[in-house]
Structure 1
Amino acid sequence: MKKGLITLAATLALTVGCAHAADRVSIGTGGTGGVFYAVGAGMADMLTAFDNDISANAEVTGASIENVRRVSMGQMTIGFSSGSTLYAGYSGEDPFEEKQNVLAIAALYPAILQVAATAASKAQSMADLKDLRISVGPPGSNSSVLAERMLKAHDAYNPDKIQYLSYGEATNAIKNGNLDASIILAGVPASAFIELTTTTDSKLVPINKENGEKLIAEYPYYTMTHVPAAIYNGNDVDTIAIGDPVILFTSKDADEDVIYRITQTIFDNLDTLGKVHPAAGLITKEKAPKTPIPLHPGATRYYSE
């Protein structure tokens, strides 16, 4: 009897333990120095703290393209991606060879195409960049793709003048007099432009609203936005810009209840999430459902409530 009771107790303990086992949620982010990782790590901590049935962790990855592929294959639960890359994955467009198994959870914050030029260049508009030495970001990056599209929309694309540098390299090149302007795609404030505007006389360059709207008509996953005044030294007015919003997404096969609880926990605790990084403070419940691909049923259920 004693042996039987011990066995029963052990079985009950195991059963209770299994009943309360937390769902493991892995979040695909980006490099440790990027905004994806900063917000994703804060999100993982918050999900674990506010939902007793979730144990979340942020994974360091190569960002959007890797995240889309790995979430699609079920290697991670949710991930961060630019809207343009997620749309390409969902549609099976370059750089993806086939349609990816993904659905959206929420539009988070805008990654903004930010343009800065030196005072010596006298650039006041995108059209003025045509004959300047410009970096558009690393080759093949979302920054370079969107920058080239935007330059073409303003009839300012000049391949002989374009360089493909990292954001830090571009800032140093301007400081050394080897570059006139830098274009980056990032959340605000971006550390590269904080340094650039505090150590040089560089100023932000606005896009033309009409040209930006034409670009969005062709690529509907982009959005009109602005860089707020006073974000960067010496820039005292809002600067109109184009954005490639950051999207939180999951696989089509993800459990509806788990995705519902993830969505609920995030958006019922935005004040907490907003403290991890300035970009997270831009996330709103109103804009969240406006994603470039369809929403997962778990997210739809939360928004409909």
Structure 2
Amino acid sequence: MQTSFKVLALAAAVSLLSALPAQAQTRVTFKSAKTGSSYYQMGVQIAEAMKAGTKGAIVVTLEESQGSTQNVMEVRARGADYVFTTPPALVDMAQGAKGPFKDKGDAKFSNIRALFPIPSLTMHFVARSDRGINSMADLAGKTLLLGKGSFGSTEGEKYLKLFGLEGKVTLANGELSNAVPALKNGQIDAFVTAGSWPAPNVIEASASTPITLLSLSDEQIAATERDSLTIPAGTYTGQKTAVKTTSLPVVAYSTTAMSDDTAYTLTKTYWDQKSAMSSGAAWWTGVDQSLMATITGKLHPGAVRYYKEAGFKLTAAQQ
């Protein structure tokens, strides 16, 4: 009798457990940037934040990327679990089959939807303080390292042309990875870099060499057709005043294939965890509600649900 009771109790327990819903775990692939870059490190931090904020309900797998264009291109072959980062301008180009997407249009590009902004690519013009360089015009006759193949190098070259400095600046032949020691050793007078602020290489440069971070005028910023951004005073060692420069916004995207609930949870957890991420990496301090204005296309409906709950102001175009 006792054995029969135990068997019945065990059967009832198994039946009850079978009736309970299993703990769902959502897996997401996050494609960001090259290993070793600040944006890859941000991807690591976002993955950790999602795990902590959802208590493991969302597991983010980070993938290395060769660039923002590749991230967008892969939308054609990816599914509901795909999240990637890119400037909004590239999404606009993909959806209009322009620029790098000319003759490569795809109906899936129209399904791209934004989730949340991440730190912007910020232009830094870094000069040795003992070289008398206090403005862009002062770069004439100086040696400048632009690096090769990066957004910062192509953007820096563009600015030299815009500001009448083409042919007046000696361009150093070297990689951006050599900029800090070259500046410290006096081999160059200045270098250009683009990254989230505070930029690790600018932190390193300011810690070892007195530097001047160049500001752009309102007219110069307008000529670049980029967004204006202010780097607060004290961001770098010896930086006593705020610096006005330009930036290229970067946003995390998914597609309409992602469920509204997943997009909602990703977006909510990102903003809930931003303070914790900021304590570990200062570049997150530059992310706030003002960056929402840089999202020019549509937000994912799940993200919209969160933003409305949280009281964010959205444009009609974003919804």
TM-score range, shorter chain: 0.7 to 0.9
CA contact (8 A) 1:28 1:60 kept: yes
CA contact (8 A) 1:107 1:289 kept: no
Aligned partner of 2:115 among 92, 102, 105: 105
1:79 aligns with 2:89: no
1-structure distance, mates of 2:68, 2:279: 23
Task: Tell me which residue corresponds to 1:299.
Answer: 303
The superposition leaves residues 242-286 of structure 1 with CA deviations (integer Å, 9 ceiling, x where unpaired) of: 011221111343322211221122123332232331112222234
- 1:114-153 matched pairs, under 5 angstroms: 114-139=124-149, 141-153=150-162
1-structure distance, mates of 2:234, 2:170: 30
1-structure distance, mates of 2:63, 2:74: 11
Q: 1:93 to 1:132 in 2, by over 3 A?
A: farther
Question: Which secondary structure does the structure 1 equivalent of 2:204 belong to?
Answer: helix
1:30 aligns with 2:37: no
Q: 1:80 to 1:152 in 2, by over 3 A?
A: same
- 1:148-167 matched pairs, under 5 angstroms: 148-158=157-167, 161-163=170-172, 165-167=174-176
Identical columns (%)? 23
Task: Tell me which residue corresponds to 2:259.
Answer: 255
**Per-residue deviation, 1:212:** 0.4
CA contact (8 A) 2:30 2:82 kept: yes
Q: 1:282 to 1:11 in 2, by over 3 A?
A: same
| Rg comparison, structure with higher value | 2
**Which region of structure 1 is more displaced relative to structure 2, 162-171 or 104-113?**
162-171
1:208 aligns with 2:208: no
1-structure distance, mates of 2:19, 2:140: 68
What is the root-mean-square deviation in Å for CA atoms of aligned residues?
A: 3.2
1-structure distance, mates of 2:76, 2:53: 26
CA contact (8 A) 2:232 2:242 kept: yes
CA contact (8 A) 1:68 1:79 kept: yes
Task: Tell me which residue corresponds to 1:277.
Answer: 281
**Per-residue deviation, 1:182:** 0.5
- 1:187-202 matched pairs, under 5 angstroms: 187-202=196-211
Task: Tell me which residue corresponds to 2:3.
Answer: none
Q: 1:103 to 1:243 in 2, by over 3 A?
A: same
Q: 1:157 to 1:82 in 2, by over 3 A?
A: farther
1:54 aligns with 2:64: no
Task: Tell me which residue corresponds to 1:229.
Answer: 233
Task: Tell me which residue corresponds to 1:219.
Answer: none
CA contact (8 A) 1:22 1:54 kept: yes
- 1:177-192 matched pairs, under 5 angstroms: 177-192=186-201
Structure 1, unmatched stretches of 5+, are 217-221
Question: Which secondary structure does the structure 2 equivalent of 1:66 belong to?
Answer: helix
The superposition leaves residues 32-57 of structure 1 with CA deviations (integer Å, 9 ceiling, x where unpaired) of: 43222222222212222322542223
Question: Which secondary structure does the structure 2 equivalent of 1:24 belong to?
Answer: strand
**Per-residue deviation, 1:12:** 7.0
Task: Tell me which residue corresponds to 1:241.
Answer: 245
The superposition leaves residues 77-123 of structure 1 with CA deviations (integer Å, 9 ceiling, x where unpaired) of: 21222444444444433333434623322222222100012234322
- How many positions carry a matched residue from both structures? 296
Aligned partner of 2:99 among 94, 101, 109: 94
CA contact (8 A) 2:147 2:176 kept: yes
1-structure distance, mates of 2:151, 2:204: 22
Question: Which secondary structure does the structure 2 equivalent of 1:111 belong to?
Answer: strand
Scaled by the length of structure 1, the TM-score of the pair is: 0.83
Task: Tell me which residue corresponds to 1:64.
Answer: 68
Task: Tell me which residue corresponds to 2:185.
Answer: 176
